Structure 1
Amino acid sequence: MFPVLGVFSIYFFRYSFVSDHFQYLASMGPLVLVAAAGSEGFNRLGVVESLGRGLPFLRVGLCTVVLLLLGILTWQQTAVYHDLITLYTTTLAQNPGCWMAHYNLGIALRDRGESDQAITHYRQAIALRPGYAEAHYNLGRLLAEKGEFNDAVDHYEAALAINPDDPEAHNNLGATFVQQGRIDDAIAHYQKALATQPDYAAASCNLADALLSKGNIDGAIVHYLKCVAVLPNQPDAQYNLASALLRKGRIDEAIVHYEKTLELRPENANARVNLGSAFLAKDRVVDAITEYKEALRLAPDNVPAQSNLAWLLATSPDPSLRNGPEAVVLAEQARRLSDGKPLILRILAAAYAEADRFSEATDTAHEALRAADDQGNSVLSDLLRKEIALYESGHPYHRQSP
């Protein structure tokens, strides 16, 4: 049992912070020898004969003293095990070169929210053991959380130099590159993470986000579908997938994922607006109006909800759904919040016409036409010219039934 007495360092002591537990069994032999030596010493000194009947009392007294001393020492030692931070701090006070204690103290401090101190101990662990990938990885995470992206990249790359097949390090490095605007580099690392671990849902979500930001909608949809297959209750992924599907004209699928988004996050006003637009594309006008109104209840200044609802109330083929005055209120609010965009002005003009305010409809439509011409939007300009002719003749514009 000599090797586990802690007299010298052997392999597993690199991962051991307190070696007391290795000494319990090993100490039995030495303790027996000490007891035997004490007994023999008493015999040779003639203590036993001299005490006579007082010997039992002496034994009890000595045992009591020894037990009290051991109890006091034990009580003092238990303070070291009060919590992880105390344990590792005590270990480092006795052995400042214990790199693993620095590392685990960093973890304990991070879990307690003391990031700066955790970073200090991660750095010390790395200084003592530069090839420890986990320390580089965890230090990179904390640095990224603090916005120190350049240093975070350095440590993620150091971790990957040691362990190039670590999918989490690739994923987190990719996320850090996104923060730096290095989208292509991020995509490369997300792909490496998935090459190592194909079912890594977080990497699929992140890759989808990056591809979407590059305009690769088809690629984004593929990876969002992989993401939500593993993490169906991830509202952001569901929302982004639905929006990508809507942009590709896959309306029925988009509706399914918007509804799932709202099941998970009912207060998402933008999801309600987009679901309304998807309903409108399927000619579910009443459902669209319901979603736009709910979006405005949640976010009264939501311009897409204001403008889309105003357009329906002003131009619906169904007379029972039209409401000119309400459309005017909504369109005027949208105009104030959107800085006179030509499409908003077109909607406001249609609302004025539905409310029999044809002079204002004509003036607003002309203003929209000038803005559209300035933008070079010939399609919108042609539509506005036709609508202006209606307003000048005293007729509102109503969409044709599909």
Structure 2
Amino acid sequence: MHRQLLLIATCILGWAGTAAAQQPTTAASLKTAYSISKNATSESEYTQIIDQIQQSDLAAADEEVRSYGNQLLAWALNRRGELRWDQIQAPDDEFATAAIEDFRNALRLDPNRWRAKQNMAFVYATRGQMKEAEALFDDVIQTKPDHANAFFNRGELRYEMGKLPAAISDYDRAIALQPGEADFYTGRGHARFQHGDIGPAIDDYRRAFQLDKGNATRAIDLADALQNAGQWRSAAENYRNALRLDSQNLRTLLNLAWLLATCPDGSLRDGQQALEITQELRDIPANEEFRYIDTYAAALAETGQFEKATRVAQTGLNLVPASERSGFEARVANYKSNQRYRQSPIRQVGGQ
């Protein structure tokens, strides 16, 4: 954008030299708008640019200056819209409404402004209008075929739409364009995992963690995939990597405790440690309550406390997701029969 602003400035200053006598207010307004734009970062500064240009008489300028003036106005509208969108609390609150108006006005002035198209695609996605969002991402990619984030953003959208092969293809392209971005590998890892490509998903999660070793979530993603693949020892190592980065992460603590309580490998299983982890947890959020109950009950059973395990597990019967009910009810039956639970891998991939 900096180079474009210089072009705008050149045109404005050149036009001002020949037309200032006839349109001094317009020339001054455009020059002021450009001056503000060089260092603008706040909503108020972008508003000043917008006001300056809207108060000028662009219609009286020659076509070239009018075009660049509209481009500068579209740029400022889009930037102000981005700042407003960052403040939204709900998809239809006052900030969202104001941001959408800015994005639409930017595109009305400059239909080829790809960043505004991308922002409108985010708006549509947030509102659940997936097809409209996908169409705009298509336009962005057609305009900017070398923009890695455009492919990544469309991949994220297609993942949410359940278009897993298409999403993987978009992540492939993003990675080819920008191979050092950890988010791209994580996105492809999620899509591959959901598609059933567990081994390649693990490779992606591992690469994401290698690129971003200070991020606990990268380690957790890798550990979860390894546990689901039955690579128990590697999973345990990566959960502990995650805990070194974030010792209070609830997802890590619950999933490590689950592994310690239910792992088929007796050399890794440690019911007492699993019990200690779960008993020390406090303030469990509602969306994690079932996972906590399930894990705590498994740890109790592993330490031989079957009666208590049964009582605890039964408190989760009204919370269990429909997709997990049959497995959970089987575990409750195990505990009633004084049997411990042993998990099985979703799909065996490679060795330990």
- Whose Rg is larger? 1
What is the Cα deviation at residue 305 of structure 1? 1.7
Per the alignment, in what secondary structure is the counterpart of residue 239 of structure 2?
helix
Q: Which residue of 2 aligns with 1:171?
A: 118
Q: Does 1:396 align with 2:340?
A: yes
- State the AA in 2 paired with 1:97: T
In structure 1, which of residues 348, 364, 367 is the aligned counterpart of residue 312 of structure 2? 364
Per the alignment, in what secondary structure is the counterpart of residue 320 of structure 1?
coil
CA 1:170–1:384 in structure 2 vs 1: closer, same or farther (change >3 Å)?
Answer: same
Q: Does 1:329 align with 2:276?
A: yes
TM-score (norm 2): 0.75
Supply the distance in 2 between the matched residues of 1:366 and 1:301 (Cα, whole angstroms).
Answer: 27
Q: Is the 8 A contact 2:264 2:344 kept in 1?
A: yes
In structure 2, which of residues 135, 153, 165 is the aligned counterpart of residue 188 of structure 1? 135
Q: Is the 8 A contact 1:342 1:368 kept in 2?
A: yes
Could you give the per-residue CA deviations for residues 104-137 of structure 1, whole angstroms, max 9, x where no partner exists? 1231231xx3541342123322443375133213
Q: What aligned pairs does 1:79-94 form with structure 2 within 5 A after superposition? A: none
Could you give the per-residue CA deviations for residues 228-248 of structure 1, whole angstroms, max 9, x where no partner exists? 221222233332222222222
CA 1:183–1:214 in structure 2 vs 1: closer, same or farther (change >3 Å)?
Answer: same
Q: Does 1:138 align with 2:71?
A: no
Per the alignment, in what secondary structure is the counterpart of residue 39 of structure 2?
helix
Q: Which residue of 1 aligns with 2:34?
A: 104
CA 1:170–1:179 in structure 2 vs 1: closer, same or farther (change >3 Å)?
Answer: same
Q: Does 1:318 align with 2:318?
A: no
Supply the distance in 1 between the matched residues of 2:342 and 2:167 (Cα, whole angstroms).
Answer: 37
Q: Is the 8 A contact 2:257 2:295 kept in 1?
A: yes
Question: Could you say which structure has the greater relative contact order, defined with CA pairs below 8 angstroms and 6 or more residues apart?
Answer: 2
What is the Cα deviation at residue 289 of structure 1? 0.2
Could you give the per-residue CA deviations for residues 117-161 of structure 1, whole angstroms, max 9, x where no partner exists? 342123322443375133213322123213344444444434434
Supply the distance in 2 between the matched residues of 1:117 and 1:369 (Cα, whole angstroms).
Answer: 56
TM-score (norm 1): 0.67
In structure 2, which of residues 234, 238, 263 is the aligned counterpart of residue 291 of structure 1? 238
Q: Is the 8 A contact 1:140 1:156 kept in 2?
A: yes
Give the total of aligned pairs.
313
Q: Which residue of 2 aligns with 1:42?
A: none
What is the Cα deviation at residue 176 of structure 1? 4.5
Q: Is the 8 A contact 1:368 1:384 kept in 2?
A: no
Structure 1: which 5+ residue stretches go unaligned? 1-11, 23-90
Supply the distance in 1 between the matched residues of 2:327 and 2:178 (Cα, whole angstroms).
Answer: 41
Q: What aligned pairs does 1:1-400 form with structure 2 within 5 A after superposition? A: 14-16=12-14, 95-98=24-27, 99-110=29-40, 113-128=41-56, 129=58, 132-147=70-85, 148-178=95-125, 182-333=129-280, 337-339=284-286, 341-369=289-317, 371-372=319-320, 377-391=324-338, 395-399=339-343
CA 1:400–1:178 in structure 2 vs 1: closer, same or farther (change >3 Å)?
Answer: closer
Q: CA RMSD in A?
A: 3.3
Per the alignment, in what secondary structure is the counterpart of residue 109 of structure 1?
coil
Structure 2: which 5+ residue stretches go unaligned? 1-9, 59-65, 86-94
Q: Is the 8 A contact 1:167 1:193 kept in 2?
A: yes
CA 1:380–1:396 in structure 2 vs 1: closer, same or farther (change >3 Å)?
Answer: closer
Q: Is the 8 A contact 1:109 1:115 kept in 2?
A: no
Supply the distance in 1 between the matched residues of 2:343 and 2:49 (Cα, whole angstroms).
Answer: 67
What is the Cα deviation at residue 275 of structure 1? 0.5
Q: Which residue of 2 aligns with 1:70?
A: none
Q: Is the 8 A contact 2:189 2:200 kept in 1?
A: yes
Per the alignment, in what secondary structure is the counterpart of residue 315 of structure 2?
helix
Could you give the per-residue CA deviations for residues 140-197 of structure 1, whole angstroms, max 9, x where no partner exists? 2123213344444444434434543343332233235446665443322111111233
CA 1:320–1:14 in structure 2 vs 1: closer, same or farther (change >3 Å)?
Answer: closer
- State the percentage of identical aligned residues: 23
CA 1:332–1:195 in structure 2 vs 1: closer, same or farther (change >3 Å)?
Answer: same
CA 1:186–1:141 in structure 2 vs 1: closer, same or farther (change >3 Å)?
Answer: farther
Supply the distance in 1 between the matched residues of 2:162 and 2:11 (Cα, whole angstroms).
Answer: 53
Supply the distance in 2 between the matched residues of 1:332 and 1:224 (Cα, whole angstroms).
Answer: 40
What is the Cα deviation at residue 341 of structure 1? 3.5
- State the AA in 2 paired with 1:117: E
